[in-house]
Structure 1
């Protein structure tokens, strides 16, 4: 069921939602959260389709905020709110409200959204494109417990990752991080099968793919070993190679669907690592509404630091030990890691520099 409202208010939209639920015979509200999608007209359809599919697992009230660009000076002064209310089969398993904001009201989207939030329910804000550099300080992001962005949609994804690290606030997350969940699970499971020390890692994938960068930063952060990024033709991530004291461990995916896990001394195994669609990614993010500390730690490792790791030999590289549980070692404190090279440099300088006594003589 669809109800169109022109030049309306938040109060009228709430009344339309009640009328719609009564008309289809479902007056009870059984939704678990409010999902706010902030997008443009071009990407609204795909984002809403993904949200509707995700609502099969997470029934929610979906508010789609579309800020319409004013074409003429007259349009800029005319503030208007148009809405389309969908309930029943047209809205998945929840409710959907399309909000189109014109003129000055588009600068106060939070005032429009606030009266439409479900009472006593978590709020998740998702920017499929054009996400703010600091989602937590955005007026809409300030309403949410969870803020979802996608650096893959940015013009410069790697630079966007660096900006996300500087502005990170607990509750922020990124679909580029969600895309590598199966890879992280598979690599951790592979390390659980051996009792070796990891000496170095190579991550292969598309050159400017933020998921590849995040996987490399996660491995460098957790294993505390040199990680090298190698570009490939894709699609997406294509392989990870870990050099260990027991031989190489390789996870290779050339076709974007089926991967091969190779561990020295064991037969190669085919594992499913298909590229997931947006609906699956959003559904995964809605399963947890608490801060993702692992993502925060990997993000703060830093893209610049990842690409400036010096080449080290196998004997000099700090070792990550494969053990029980997650299969990765706890990272060394950042302060200690930063001080180690400085101490070595200082000792070399001290050996080369003559003492004051020798100079005096």
Structure 2
């Protein structure tokens, strides 16, 4: 059910919520947190609401959407309440703010927060430079951003590093969970050797690739190169060098991953790019600071950025020469070239011998 409240106030919205709860016969609310989504009013708003509805089936919550509208319009609050099948296992309150009210999202959110429950703020698109100092971010115990949704993802990731405050996290980090799990499982099998060098390749504007390289640099304490992949999306390849041979995790098509280890058969498994709802559900499972993410951010400066090798160059490489071919080639190279006079003397000598 969707109820529209045009040109309303937060007091009227609260009264309508109480009326709906009494009308439905609910005595208490089974909500574990309040999720505040901050975005600009538009088509992208519905995508964020859909992801929150799916996540609410695992984490029943009240979802408050602060959709900032035109700043030049007259100050106005248009609200919308969604319950039942249109809100998953939550209740969704959409606040569309116009004019000067668009910058007062925090004052509109406070009266609608659930009492005695944690608050999580999420910016699905553009995030403030310092989320913890944002008026809505200051209300939250956890602040979720998404560097991949920014105009310049790599620059946004550097901003996350500079402004990090305990409680911050980014969905570019959440997308690495399966990669981190598979790489960690590779070291559960012998030989138990130390990694001496590492390389991570992916799209040039993939913040998840940068974070994965930084995580390896901080965890393994080895040089890590971050290169650009010419094929594939997101993270494409991870190569960890060890004395007995390299451990490689590949995902060239964005769907199937393969793990290669010396002395072990190739292992193939599903490694799809994670959907927004899955990443959001994972982040809502914990409300304490993510220390591993903090270490990864601090290790971004240890990653060496390099240029990738084009796929055509790799395909054009010839197989290695055999030892016998190499010897013949070396002898041919070492043999001195005959002088032109000597070449001309050979036919004349042969002709004189034949006539005699």
> What range is the shorter-chain TM-score in?
0.7 to 0.9
Residue aligning to 2:330: none
Residue aligning to 1:56: 57
Deviations 1:307-333 (A, max 9, x none): 369xxxxxxxxxxxxxxxxxxxxxxxx
Distance (Å, rounded) in 1 between the aligned partners of 2:58 and 2:238: 32
Distance (Å, rounded) in 2 between the aligned partners of 1:196 and 1:246: 8
| Greater relative contact order structure (CA < 8 Å, 6+ sep) | 1
Residue aligning to 1:274: 272
Residue aligning to 2:312: none
Residue aligning to 1:96: 92
Return the offset for 1:62. 0.2
Tell me if structure 2 keeps the 8 A contact 1:18–1:27: no
The counterpart of 2:249, out of the listed 248, 251, 260, is 251
Q: How does 1:80-91 map to 2 (within 5 A)?
A: 80-91=76-87
Q: What TM-score, normalized to structure 2?
A: 0.83
The counterpart of 1:158, out of the listed 154, 176, 181, is 154
Return the offset for 1:184. 0.5
Task: Report the structure number with the largest CA radius of gyration.
Answer: 2
Return the offset for 1:292. 0.2
Tell me if structure 2 keeps the 8 A contact 1:243–1:249: yes
Residue aligning to 1:200: 197
Return the offset for 1:89. 1.5
Q: What TM-score, normalized to structure 1?
A: 0.82
Residues 1:4 and 2:4 are matched in the alignment? yes
Tell me if structure 2 keeps the 8 A contact 1:5–1:82: yes
Residue aligning to 1:359: none
Distance (Å, rounded) in 1 between the aligned partners of 2:27 and 2:60: 15
Shift >6 Å, 4+ stretches: none
Q: Which runs of 5+ in 2 are unaligned?
A: 307-356
Return the offset for 1:154. 1.1
Residue aligning to 1:176: 172
Q: How does 1:1-361 map to 2 (within 5 A)?
A: 1-40=1-40, 41-71=42-72, 75=73, 78-194=74-190, 195-232=192-229, 233-302=231-300, 304-307=301-304
Provide the aligned length of Structure 1 versus Structure 2: 303
Tell me if structure 2 keeps the 8 A contact 1:35–1:126: yes
Deviations 1:181-226 (A, max 9, x none): 1000110111222310101011111111000000000001110111
Q: CA RMSD in A?
A: 1.3
Distance (Å, rounded) in 2 between the aligned partners of 1:259 and 1:308: 24
Tell me if structure 2 keeps the 8 A contact 1:149–1:173: yes
Tell me if structure 1 keeps the 8 A contact 2:225–2:305: no
Deviates more, 1:258-267 or 1:5-14: 5-14
SS, match of residue 129 in structure 1? coil
Deviates more, 1:60-69 or 1:1-10: 1-10
SS, match of residue 192 in structure 1? coil
Return the offset for 1:239. 1.2
Deviations 1:253-279 (A, max 9, x none): 111111111110111111221111100
SS, match of residue 177 in structure 1? helix
Deviations 1:91-131 (A, max 9, x none): 11111000011112222110110110110101000001110
Distance (Å, rounded) in 2 between the aligned partners of 1:24 and 1:44: 28
Return the offset for 1:2. 1.9
Q: Which runs of 5+ in 1 are unaligned?
A: 310-361
